[in-house]
Amino acid sequence: MKELEQEEWREQLSKDENAAILDVRTEEEVEEGYIPNSKNIDIYKGQGFIDEVEKLDKDKNYYIYCRSGKRSAQACSILDQLGFSNTYNLEGGFMNWEGDITED
């Protein structure tokens, strides 16, 4: 896991051909807006979270965020333990995000 500040996260993501964005917040939080092209897997689902994550391509680079950066740091650790090579945590999370936001 690597901790990246907002600008670094956005810049690295924009250049990464092998990137995937994971949003580990709850569905209620996601309804308030999310980073475009992110896949939501709620970390609070416990084993359900692990089951979903294990279906992902371990060779991709995962840019992971939550509301404040704490749950996404946990998610990065879990992915690392499951054999994912590259995980990047968004420091400060969605509440400090200044990039594009999508709302349903």
pLDDT tens for residues 1-33? 999 999 999 999 999 999 999 999 999 999 999
Q: Annotated catalytic residue: which of 66, 73, 76, 79?
A: 66
Could you give the percent of the chain with pLDDT greater than 90?
Answer: 97
Please state the rounded mean pLDDT for residues 89-95.
96
Instruction: Identify whether 103 is part of a domain.
Output: no
Instruction: Identify whether 102 is part of a domain.
Output: no
In the residue annotation, 76 being an active-site residue is answered as no
| Domain assignment of residue 40, given as a range | 2-96
Mean pLDDT score of the chain, rounded to an integer?
96
For the domain that residue 86 is a member of, what is the CATH number?
A: 3.40.250.10
Instruction: Identify whether 89 is part of a domain.
Output: yes
Q: Domain total for the chain? A: 1
Instruction: Identify whether 104 is part of a domain.
Output: no
CA distance 2 to 103: 28
- What is the pairing mode between strands 2-4 and 86-90? parallel
